Amino acid sequence: MRILVAEDDAVLAEGVMQTLRQSGYAVDGVRNGAEADSALAANQFDLLILDLGLPKRSGLDVLKRLRASESRLPVLILTALHGVSDRVRGLDAGADDYLAKPFDLAELEARVRALTRRGMAGCPTLLQHGALTYEQIGRSACLNGRALELSARELSLLEVFLQRAGRLVSKDQLVSHLCEWGEEVSPNAIEVYVHRLRKKLEPGGVRIATVRGLGYSLEKPAGRESAEHKPVAPISRGS
């Protein structure tokens, strides 16, 4: 899952981005409205976290242009403006949620999860692939009923493979999903990440096949439906 953070306060932006990265999201950042417009036009994101007080082009203008393009990308507004009229303007322009500064990072994460759920309305939140289950909202995986310890990169890889179970995934697609701007990930690095994930999945009979020269494929489990054909009802959490 890839998030764009449009925030001109360098300290706040870094804190938000680091928090989200630790939760396993791929996060890109821009510092003004013009950069936000360019990023949204050139890349596909799952969520936009948008400061209203951006330089060069306001966050409100960015939001209006986004909605004018008929994009349904979930948008969480961050702003130091606390007035009711400011909140109303942002929501009327097409924002999905609103968080006033200063805010707690734990609340930000909770709102990100809520917006992600909303964006996936009608889609299964829990995927099953043989002995493997993966909760897309909480970003947690279990194999044979036991929690899998996966790094952020491994979680992102698993997400890609499950969403394309039984289909070829090229290295370029993996790089696009895993990497943030300014990063360079070599084909060798992708091979290392896939190797680590493969070792953790194989004890449960879940196999990632290498299609030499083309990429990888998460093989459909024998005698069972694949993840793309077998959604599981969402798990209710006590907390």
Over residues 28-72, the pLDDT tens digits come to: 999 999 999 999 998 888 899 999 889 999 999 999 999 999 898
Confirm whether 238 is domain-assigned: no
Instruction: Say yes or no: 169 and 203 in one domain.
Output: yes
Instruction: Say yes or no: 104 and 131 in one domain.
Output: no
pLDDT of residue 180: 59
pTM of the model: 0.64
Confirm whether 237 is domain-assigned: no
Look up the CATH number of the domain holding residue 75: 3.40.50.2300
Residue pair 95/115 in contact (Cβ under 8 Å)? The answer is: no
Over residues 108-164, the pLDDT tens digits come to: 999 998 887 765 554 556 788 999 998 876 778 999 999 999 988 888 889 889 888
pLDDT of residue 65: 94
Instruction: Say yes or no: 132 and 103 in one domain.
Output: no
Instruction: Say yes or no: 161 and 52 in one domain.
Output: no
Instruction: Say yes or no: 54 and 29 in one domain.
Output: yes
Over residues 72-86, the pLDDT tens digits come to: 899 999 888 766 777
Instruction: Say yes or no: 171 and 223 in one domain.
Output: yes
Instruction: Say yes or no: 16 and 106 in one domain.
Output: yes
Confirm whether 201 is domain-assigned: yes
Residue pair 160/177 in contact (Cβ under 8 Å)? The answer is: yes
pLDDT of residue 231: 44
Chain centroid to CA 196? 21
Per the structure, the count of domains in the chain is: 2
Instruction: Say yes or no: 175 and 105 in one domain.
Output: no
pLDDT of residue 37: 95
Confirm whether 186 is domain-assigned: yes
Asked which of 119, 149, 182 is the last residue of a domain, the reply is: 119
Mean pLDDT of the chain: 83
**Residue 207, pLDDT above cutoff 80:** yes
Confirm whether 132 is domain-assigned: yes
Instruction: Say yes or no: 11 and 107 in one domain.
Output: yes
pLDDT of residue 235: 35
Instruction: Say yes or no: 84 and 135 in one domain.
Output: no
Asked which of 103, 119, 135 is the last residue of a domain, the reply is: 119
User: Which percentage of the chain shows pLDDT scores above 90?
Assistant: 43
Asked which of 119, 138, 169 is the last residue of a domain, the reply is: 119
Confirm whether 214 is domain-assigned: yes
Instruction: Say yes or no: 151 and 56 in one domain.
Output: no
Residue pair 111/85 in contact (Cβ under 8 Å)? The answer is: no
Confirm whether 96 is domain-assigned: yes
Look up the CATH number of the domain holding residue 200: 1.10.10.10
**Which structural domain range is residue 11 located in?**
2-119
Instruction: Say yes or no: 114 and 132 in one domain.
Output: no
Confirm whether 239 is domain-assigned: no
Residue pair 194/218 in contact (Cβ under 8 Å)? The answer is: no
